[in-house]
Amino acid sequence: MKERKSLLIIIGVMAVPIVAMAIFIVYTLGNKDDAGSKAVETTTQATTEAATEEEVAEDDTEETTEKASSTNSDEKKLACSVKVEDAGNWQDGDKYVYQYNIRIDNKSKEDVSDWKVVIAGFKGGEIGDNWNGDYKISGDNLTITAVDYNGTIPKGGNIEMGLQVKYKSSNDAEKAATLYVGGEEYTELKEEPTTQSAEEKAESKKEKIEPESGTPLENHGKLSIDGTDVVDKDGKQYQLKGVSTHGLAWFPEYVNKEAFQTLRDEWGANVIRLAMYTSESGGYCQDGDKSKLKGLVEDGVEYATELGMYVIIDWHILHDTNPKDNQDEAVVFFDEMSAKYADYDNVLYEICNEPNGSTTWSDIKEYAETVIPVIRANDKDAIIIVGTPTWSQDVDQAADDPITGQDNIAYTTHFYAATHKDNIRSKVKTAHDKGLCVFISEFSICDASGNGAIDYDSAEDWFDMIDEYNLSYAGWSLCNKNETSALIDSGCSKTSGWSDDDLSDAGKWLKNQISTDD
């Protein structure tokens, strides 16, 4: 018995300095950088094992471990990506010349150095004109390394490069790019997007606003899709016709109730599209004020609802080209918006404006099949509008492989009448004949730059098809920007109550079109 007591005393004496040493290490290293956090985590775990009955030590260990895990997660979660865009090709004598644009985006929280890009699919190619990189072809691979001025990509920055490659014969090999950082293949470690908790959704939910009596919403109620048609609460064909804002970040002054009422009462519009850019300067996923942008969306929904109009919340991808680039942000945004407006009968969701560049329908469909269930978890039957490849022109590709297992899905076609004519209209006809509901969520009657000459004849051809097929539409854009597609004259500063003299030529045409449409 005495021997056992002696052994316990010895163990107790030995434990005291171990615990004291651990506490000292926790105190002195607790506020160090990531490496220090890892040391604290290891030491405090040892402390817990040595003093399992000390509750304070256990609490300190859990807190420190959580901090270390959070810090390490942020450190690992880089957001670098590389894109290759086919910028066209032509024949030069007996050679075929292909031009490629390459872009690296660094959306991580720190600068990235020692980068390299390897792209497969260049066998037999000869490098011609090139810029912003050092290019070498070996076997099938093109390797790009930095030049002296772009060896470091600053956090939030990007590098754009390009080259021309000559071949003896045409070369349509798929170009697959791999990014290396610090000599190792870069693998983006993505976490599951954090959506709102049930409590947060309940707290943020908007109290439903009752529309004015006799308005489109009051008369026609919640819309749905039946085959190729948008239909109202009674199952009758219904055509949404209205106006899209320009980027909310740049022209916020046009999101006001008086402006929407002017469009409703004097133009005959029944829908407003709220265009929230994602990747441009001031965009939601770039450097924009997210709180302010969401506030403008919420104001726009409120004004439209009070006036009994329908409203489209538009995730306006453009410069980001592929909706998957900001998919995590889209998931969180649409989870919040669809929870907030789950009980509203007039809110539609446009989940990707104009995919472009090398983005395929497969890319878009994969993105849509991620985002749509997030909306459906909150709002089971709102209309969801999905963009299509090539700036939402290739709706025929969607018709060949439509999204399945979901109701009330529409697909976009965008057109600019002076540029897009029979070739794009034939794609709409193909999609319509295959049973897709096509939605013209953006268009203008000038050329695709938004600032060229107006083609009234092509515009009339488009509207012959729109009316024949009962396609819904929103014209671009509600602003006074000095360009042809702006609906307000650039010399007009009024943000509502416009007379015809306050409108651009495109604005006068669209007002007349909406007001005379049956």
Cα–Cα distance for residue pair 439/474, rounded to 1 Å? 9
* Residues 6+ positions from 467 with CB-CB distance below 8 Å: 517
**Region at 102 (left for phi over 0; alpha for psi -120 to 50; beta for the rest):** beta
The 10 Å CB-count burial string (b at 16+, else e) for 29-64 is bbeeeeebbebbbebbeebbeebeeeeebeebbeeb
**Region at 92 (left for phi over 0; alpha for psi -120 to 50; beta for the rest):** beta
Q: Is the backbone peptide bond immediately before 477 cis, with ω within 30 degrees of 0?
A: yes
CB 143 within 8 A of CB 117: yes
Of 164, 172, 174, give the one whose Cα is nearest residue 92.
164
CB 457 within 8 A of CB 467: no
CB atoms within 10 A of CB 108: 19
- Phi then psi for residue 184, to 5 deg, are -115, 145
In this structure, are strands 112-113 and 152-153 parallel, antiparallel, or unpaired?
Answer: antiparallel
Cα–Cα distance for residue pair 211/219, rounded to 1 Å? 10
Token duo for residue 326? 């900001």
Query: Concatenated DSSP letters for 460-488?
Result: HHHHHHHHHHT-EEEEEEES--SSTT-SB
Cα–Cα distance for residue pair 465/468, rounded to 1 Å? 5
Q: Which of 160, 442, 460, 468 is catalytic?
A: 442
442 is catalytic: yes
To the nearest 10°, report the CA torsion of 244, 247, 253, 258.
10
Q: Which of 160, 354, 369, 460 is catalytic?
A: 354
CA distances from 227 to 144, 389, 410 (A): 49, 22, 10
Indicate which residues carry an active-site annotation: 354, 442
